[in-house]
Structure 1
Amino acid sequence: MPSKIENYADSESRSVVRFLTAKITKPRDIHTQISEIYGVNAMGESMVRKRVRMFKEGRENVNDEPRRGRPSLVSDDLINKVDIKEKEDTRFTLSSLSSNFPEISRSLLHEIVTDHLGYRKVCSRRVPKQLTQVHKDQQAASALTFLTCYNDERDDFLTHIVTGDETWLPHSTPESKQQSMQWKHTDSPQPKTEKFK
């Protein structure tokens, strides 16, 4: 008894059908031989007959023809409309786009934004903060005030000072990572925000 082949590609069993059709073997005998080697679920007799007929008619390819799937709803016109809306608001969200295009599903909008327009969602990268001239002037004024108070009160003034590190903090509330997320093209530079310590 021949050994069975468990793992095989569909094109392999079709190649066997093509080979045996060329040897002028009857479809029933081809089905029997395929069932012995690949198992009874490999290919039904009606499918063997169909394949034999196709190979006799001149078909040479043992692979399936590409099938037409569901037609895509994405058109060049739709891509252009979405792109225009994105350029109006560079910090767009899929929810805002969805409100502008209620007839299109969010998953289709996501496909257009990522696959067709090349956007990806990125967070801003924190970079060291650069002091502006205003901040530098405020820092100098505060230092002068401290020196004046020390000159008047001497060591008693030092007991009232709470110290920390040397970081200068402006009065500003930075965005959270989630708030700073925005869509960018893959070739755009990553957005940057100031880093507060």
Structure 2
Amino acid sequence: MQRDLYLTERFNEGDTSLKDIPHTGRPVTFDEEALQRELELHPDSTTRDLEKTLNYHYSTIDRHLQSMGYRQVLSRWTHHALTDAQHALRVNICESLLLRPQRKSFLESIITGDESWVLYENVTRKAFWMPSDKRPPTQPKSSPHGQKLLLSVFWDSQGMLLW
């Protein structure tokens, strides 16, 4: 009813065009390029963050992210970030162990052990918007100084002996 009054007022003022005049409210078009640029700059933005930046409702942004092939994923845990030099050193050590003569009988006689602190801390990870065909980024684990328990394990070539 209010729309009809508005049209009547326009007609009485001499405006006989049928074109809609600009008004406030929901935008008619959505700028997917702006959304794409914002995701390239800040892939860890939430839909609420994108809502503030792009001035679209978060559900509209979510719908367009889905239609663009994006999904929200968590980063993969790594124990720590290795440098290229550390990667190369580990490869060299493994290759030298494989080239060692009579390694099978040598390895069968070894009982080895390891210990590790098991953390009770539940650290949350941030979600990222990524295209479906891309892998999520890695994220090093946070501080290892929370509540923890020491786990010791001993094993030989046949399997685990004691834990």
Instruction: Place the TM-score, normalised by the shorter chain, in its bin.
Output: 0.3 to 0.5
Q: Greater share of helix residues, 1 or 2?
A: 1
- Flag the structure with more relative contact order, 1 or 2, with Cα contacts below 8 A and sequence separation at least 6: 2
Q: Greater share of strand residues, 1 or 2?
A: 2
TM-score by length of 2: 0.41
